[in-house]
């Protein structure tokens, strides 16, 4: 009816139970735990790579006058793909896991990214921070060829449909020839 | 006839509440001890009260194919059985105004088993029907050693009045000392009366959809839960009265002895797996009955006494 | 005249929903039938509409207990398809996490088996020991289940020296826990009584139905994908394949118990000979050829098989998954017949069914008959006599 193994195990369990009296006793997750992703709106350039790669579709882009990036934690599976692909390291998965809310719309992070306006037609065509960031990245390469950053900026602040106009087209061809 | 030392009115009003509250706390002790032996924490002390309160406030749904009268009466029957026994039990130094025979107590203690059988088969649920038939088998098997071991005490004292049995132990010494085999048999049957492993076959504690309690919900299930709390007081109290000198006429000692009985039962429950019905039947009819019969022979013939 | 007992889809004895139809004469089961598909989620359809990287996470969620097996098999199939080379360190890391998952799955199964026979204390103790494994997995991969550890070309995370040390200590703790399981299972007479000669599956039947995994190895079929078709780093490690010829539930218990010890051995070897290097290869310039590939791994329940067809884009054309529980369930009808109804729950639990894995394709079979009801848990306790 009784065996020694279960008795010793039971007595050990009696002395120290293995369950926590949560939530009065907090339960911090271990290091390396993938919890709620945090989005740094200062670093975000609005490229939308996270939205494209999210397996659950938790990150959505809404383009209007501005680009609205919305991460809704209801769908997030905390896989960390967004953290893997973000080129600016703006996403970091924290250890937070107590995400219950009463209003499900509150379980979201929203980031607004301004669009760059075309210098000739005024249409909004590209996220401004991403354009700025790509100029910064091009700076060392341009310097090696003694081309000023300003030149590239003037050329690139034109929307794709305006770029196909004859005067723009020839300007670009010249630039590329100089680029070598 | 030992006179009562408390007014009848006070006794008959206070005893049910006392039995319910203490029984609910004993049930909590059982759940806490079992949980701790399983390396987890267990519920807070007010869990039974919270459960009963919640159930009493909820709607009780009667299945369409159930026999409505039987379905309704079964919980009442269980409650009545325990209540009548409760009102006849001496509690430490409080003696009831009317203390019935041991035989009466044993008969009323079969009522809850019958209630479970009726409730299960009257609910119209096939799960209930099967649960009831198994409960019948177990009731048959367990009543024999239960009654024999209880009667051993009566035969020793040559009276079936429970007050005399308790009183005699105050001079004679606890029955557990003189008749350990009967005590062991009684403990085994207590496990079944309380619905604990290894005999919790018909008890729907672990099974979600199973057993005679399947179709019960709301206030009717609440009454079953109240009788459950009562039985956790009545059955250990009966054991202490019959075999442990009734707490030597001291309320505190009585309650402490009951608590020890509850803890031993919890320990046995946590250490065992569940018997199959045929194994339980055989076990009760062979080992438990054998122990009880040996002590019955000893008590009635006077051989091998100590 | 046999009476039909339909059981399910909702019953407390099994952890997932399925439907059994037992035809019973007295106490003997004379015929048994199985209906699955209650957990069908359309995963293969979804997989053909997401990119390969997104599909890793989708296929991981086919099953909670063997999620790493699914993710490993998926990544391996894609790596076969596109001829991607996996670095050595990544192969060893995959082995370690796969064996940790096997440990957690077997501990879980032992707990469930104890619960089915009513030994709740042993169930709680075994799951308490399983917590050591789960916490280890959580600190290694970031999650307890659905780890997200594998990526195409390798793994996503590396093991720091402190993690390696914690795995070593954890494995020692688990070995002691496995000793405790062995004591409970071998010394407790009631466990032995419940599992001996129950649910017999002969070697010929096992071959005919093509069961896989511990269910097959308990019927004397010597098959283990880790040895027969090595993947990850298994060809460089040394361990035994546990085969028993009992064919009953007790044999399956013994096979799983000994496999726990073998997994511990594999983890220790992998930790010792873990090579250094990158953890994934660079696939940023990859182009997918138009071709097909298939691959298989040894999940805790048996052989898991993936087939993939690509059309040159980054979205697969077709992903086909064949899980081990799919094959093992077919053996249930053979195993149940001739046994008593009280043993049916243990028999079903002994093949370690994972209906989350099984139900992506529906199989329909239906007959009609007279009906009386019972639940599995109840049958386990109420043996007619």
The whole-angstrom separation of Cα C44 and Cα C57 is: 13
> What is the arithmetic mean of pLDDT over B37-59?
92
Cβ of B271 within 8 Å of Cβ of A12? The answer is no
pLDDT at C383 over 80: no
> What is the arithmetic mean of pLDDT over C116-130?
87
* Alpha carbon of A101: minimum distance to chain C alpha carbons (Å): 22
- What's the burial of B3, exposed, middle or buried (CB within 10 Å: 0-12/13-18/19+)? exposed
Chain B residues touching A17 at Cβ < 8 A: 35-36, 39-41
**Domains of chain A with CATH codes:** 31-113 (3.30.70.3270), 118-180 (no CATH)
Per DSSP, C195 falls in state H
Cβ of A18 within 8 Å of Cβ of B39? The answer is yes
Per DSSP, B247 falls in state G
The whole-angstrom separation of Cα B288 and Cα B291 is: 5
In chain C, the residue whose alpha carbon lies closest to the alpha carbon of A82 is C54
Q: What digits encode the pLDDT tens for the residues A75-114? A: 999 999 999 999 999 999 999 898 899 998 889 999 999 8
Q: Which pLDDT does position B137 carry in this prediction?
A: 83
B191 CB within 8 Å of a chain C CB: no
pLDDT at C384 over 50: no
Cβ of B276 within 8 Å of Cβ of C381? The answer is yes
Contacts of residue A146, defined as CB under 8 A and 6 or more positions apart, other chains included, come to none
pLDDT at C376 over 90: no
Selecting from A2, A13, A21 the residue whose C-beta is nearest the C-beta of B36 gives A13
Q: Which chains touch C (3 or more CB pairs under 8 A)?
A: A, B
* Chain B residues interacting with chain A (CB cutoff of 8 angstroms): 35-41, 198, 267-268, 270-272
Cβ of B272 within 8 Å of Cβ of A12? The answer is no
DSSP conformation letters of C313-330: SSS-SEEEEE-HHHHHHH
* Alpha carbon of A71: minimum distance to chain C alpha carbons (Å): 17
Q: How sure is the predictor about C174, in pLDDT bands with cuts at 50, 70 and 90?
A: very high
- The mean pLDDT of chain A is 87
Strand ranges for B227-266 from DSSP E: none
- The mean pLDDT of chain B is 85
Q: What digits encode the pLDDT tens for the residues B127-145? A: 677 778 778 888 888 889 9
Q: What digits encode the pLDDT tens for the residues B153-189? A: 888 888 888 888 888 888 877 888 888 888 989 988 8
* Alpha carbon of A21: minimum distance to chain B alpha carbons (Å): 8
Selecting from C50, C125, C131 the residue whose C-beta is nearest the C-beta of A13 gives C125
Chain B residues touching C5 at Cβ < 8 A: none
pLDDT at C379 over 80: no
Q: Which pLDDT does position B171 carry in this prediction?
A: 81
Chain C residues touching B275 at Cβ < 8 A: 190
Q: Which pLDDT does position B2 carry in this prediction?
A: 57
**Beta pairing, strands C302-309 & C318-322:** antiparallel
A21 CB within 8 Å of a chain B CB: yes
Q: Which chains touch A (3 or more CB pairs under 8 A)?
A: B, C
Q: Six-digit token pair at B255?
A: 């309650």
- Please name the residue that has the structure tokens 């059982």: B30
- Please name the residue that has the structure tokens 């009280």: C342
Q: How sure is the predictor about B273, in pLDDT bands with cuts at 50, 70 and 90?
A: confident
CB contact at 8 A, C46 and C360: no
**Domains of chain C with CATH codes:** 3-40+326-381 (3.30.390), 43-325 (1.10.645.10)
Coil, helix or strand at residue A67: strand
Preferred mutation among B44, B271, B279, B288 to probe A, highest tally of A CBs within 10 A: B271
Contacts of residue B25, defined as CB under 8 A and 6 or more positions apart, other chains included, come to B45, B48
The whole-angstrom separation of Cα B139 and Cα B134 is: 9
* Alpha carbon of A153: minimum distance to chain C alpha carbons (Å): 28
Contacts of residue C240, defined as CB under 8 A and 6 or more positions apart, other chains included, come to C262
> What is the arithmetic mean of pLDDT over B203-228?
75
Q: Which pLDDT does position B126 carry in this prediction?
A: 66
The whole-angstrom separation of Cα B14 and Cα B30 is: 24
**Beta pairing, strands C154-155 & C150-151:** antiparallel
ipTM of the complex: 0.86
> What is the arithmetic mean of pLDDT over A135-142?
86
Q: Which pLDDT does position C283 carry in this prediction?
A: 87
Measured from the Cβ of residue A100, the count of other Cβ atoms closer than 10 Å reads: 6
Q: Six-digit token pair at B144?
A: 């024999």
Phi, psi (5° rounding) for residue C205? -60, -40
B282 CB within 8 Å of a chain C CB: no
Q: Which pLDDT does position C15 carry in this prediction?
A: 67
- Please name the residue that has the structure tokens 């790493």: C68
Q: How sure is the predictor about A143, in pLDDT bands with cuts at 50, 70 and 90?
A: confident
The whole-angstrom separation of Cα B178 and Cα C19 is: 56
Provide the total of helices (H) and of strands (E) in chain B, helices listed first.
12, 0
Q: What digits encode the pLDDT tens for the residues C21-53? A: 777 666 677 887 887 777 788 888 899 999 999
Smallest CA-to-CA distance from A50 within A35, A39, A42, A64 is with: A39
pLDDT at A59 over 70: yes
Q: Which pLDDT does position C355 carry in this prediction?
A: 63
B130 CB within 8 Å of a chain C CB: yes
Chain C residues touching A81 at Cβ < 8 A: 53-54, 57
Q: How sure is the predictor about C366, in pLDDT bands with cuts at 50, 70 and 90?
A: very low
Contacts of residue C132, defined as CB under 8 A and 6 or more positions apart, other chains included, come to C170, C173, C174, C177
């Amino acid at each position: 009816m009784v065996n020694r193994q279960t008795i010793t195990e039971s007595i050990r369990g009696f002395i120290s139970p293995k369950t926590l009296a949560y939530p009065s006793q907090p339960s911090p997750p271990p290091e390396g735990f993938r919890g709620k992703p945090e989005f740094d709106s200062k670093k975000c350039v609005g490229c939308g790579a996270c939205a494209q790669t999210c397996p659950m579709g938790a990150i959505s882009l809404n383009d209007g006058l501005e680009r609205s990036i919305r991460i809704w934690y209801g769908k997030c599976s905390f896989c960390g793909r967004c953290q893997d692909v973000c080129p600016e390291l703006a996403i970091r998965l924290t250890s937070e896991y107590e995400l219950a809310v009463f209003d499900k719309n509150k379980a979201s992070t929203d980031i607004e990214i301004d669009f760059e306006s075309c210098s000739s037609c005024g249409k909004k065509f590209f996220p401004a921070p991403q354009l700025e960031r790509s100029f910064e990245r091009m700076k060392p390469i341009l310097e090696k060829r003694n081309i000023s950053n300003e030149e590239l900026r003037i050329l690139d602040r034109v929307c794709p449909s305006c770029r196909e106009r004859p005067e723009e087209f020839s300007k670009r061809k010249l630039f590329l020839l100089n680029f070598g | 006839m030992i006179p009562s030392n408390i007014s009848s009115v006070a006794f008959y009003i206070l005893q049910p509440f006392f039995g319910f509250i203490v029984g609910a706390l004993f049930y909590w002790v059982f759940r806490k001890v079992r949980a701790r032996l399983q390396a987890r924490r267990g519920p807070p002390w007010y869990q039974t009260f919270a459960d009963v309160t919640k159930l009493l406030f909820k709607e009780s749904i009667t299945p369409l194919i159930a026999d409505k009268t039987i379905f309704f009466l079964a919980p009442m029957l269980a409650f009545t059985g325990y209540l009548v026994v409760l009102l006849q039990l001496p509690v430490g130094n409080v003696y009831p105004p009317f203390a019935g025979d041991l035989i009466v107590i044993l008969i009323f203690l079969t009522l809850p088993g019958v209630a479970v059988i009726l409730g299960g088969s009257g609910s119209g649920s096939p799960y209930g029907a099967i649960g009831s038939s198994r409960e019948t088998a177990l009731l048959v098997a367990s009543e024999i050693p239960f009654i024999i071991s209880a009667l051993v005490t009566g035969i020793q004292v040559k009276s079936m009045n429970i007050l005399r049995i308790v009183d005699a132990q105050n001079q004679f010494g606890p029955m557990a000392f003189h008749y350990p085999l009967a005590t062991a048999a009684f403990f085994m049957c207590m496990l079944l009366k309380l619905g604990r492993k290894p005999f919790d076959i018909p008890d729907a504690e672990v099974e979600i959809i199973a057993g005679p309690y399947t179709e019960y919900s709301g206030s009717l299930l609440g009454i079953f839960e109240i009788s459950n709390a009562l039985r956790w007081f009545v059955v250990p109290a009966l054991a202490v009265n019959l075999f442990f000198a009734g707490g030597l006429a001291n309320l505190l000692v009585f309650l402490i002895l009951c608590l020890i009985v509850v803890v031993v039962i919890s320990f046995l429950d946590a250490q065992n797996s569940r018997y199959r019905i045929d194994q339980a039947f055989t076990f009760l009819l062979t080992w438990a009955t054998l122990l009880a019969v040996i002590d019955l022979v000893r008590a009635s013939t006077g051989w091998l006494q100590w | 005249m046999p009476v039909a007992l339909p059981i399910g889809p909702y019953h407390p004895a099994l952890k997932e929903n399925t439907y059994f139809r037992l035809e019973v004469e007295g106490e003997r089961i004379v015929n048994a039938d199985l209906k699955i598909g209650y957990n069908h989620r359309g995963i293969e359809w979804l997989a053909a509409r997401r990119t390969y990287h997104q599909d890793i996470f989708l296929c991981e969620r086919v099953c909670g207990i063997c999620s790493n097996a699914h993710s490993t098999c998926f990544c391996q199939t894609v790596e076969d398809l596109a001829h991607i080379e996996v670095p050595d360190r990544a192969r060893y890391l995959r082995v370690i996490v796969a064996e940790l998952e096997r440990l957690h799955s077997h501990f879980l199964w032992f707990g469930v088996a104890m619960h089915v026979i009513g030994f709740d204390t042993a169930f709680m103790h075994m799951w308490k020991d399983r917590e050591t494994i789960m916490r280890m997995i959580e600190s290694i991969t970031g999650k307890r289940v659905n780890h997200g550890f594998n990526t195409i070309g390798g793994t996503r995370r590396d093991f720091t020296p402190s993690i390696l040390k914690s795995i070593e200590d954890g494995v020692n703790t688990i070995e002691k826990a496995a000793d405790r399981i062995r004591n409970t299972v071998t010394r407790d007479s009631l466990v032995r009584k419940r599992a001996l000669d129950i649910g017999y599956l002969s070697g010929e039947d096992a071959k005919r139905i093509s069961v896989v995994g511990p269910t097959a190895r308990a019927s004397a079929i010597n098959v283990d994908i880790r040895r027969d078709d090595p993947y990850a780093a298994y060809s460089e490690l040394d361990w035994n394949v546990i085969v028993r010829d009992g064919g009953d539930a007790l044999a399956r218990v013994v096979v799983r118990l000994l496999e726990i010890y073998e997994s511990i051995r594999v983890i220790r070897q992998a930790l010792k000979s873990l090579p250094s290097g990158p953890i994934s290869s660079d696939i940023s310039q990859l182009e997918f050829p138009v071709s097909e590939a298939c691959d298989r791994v040894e999940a805790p329940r048996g052989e898991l098989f993936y087939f993939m067809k690509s059309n040159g884009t980054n979205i697969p054309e077709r992903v086909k998954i064949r899980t081990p529980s799919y094959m093992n369930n077919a053996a249930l009808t053979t195993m149940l017949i001739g046994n008593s109804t009280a043993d049916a729950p243990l028999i079903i639990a002994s093949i370690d069914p994972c209906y989350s894995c099984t139900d992506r394709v529906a199989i329909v079979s239906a007959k009609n008959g007279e009906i009386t009801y019972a639940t599995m848990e109840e049958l386990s306790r109420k043996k007619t006599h």
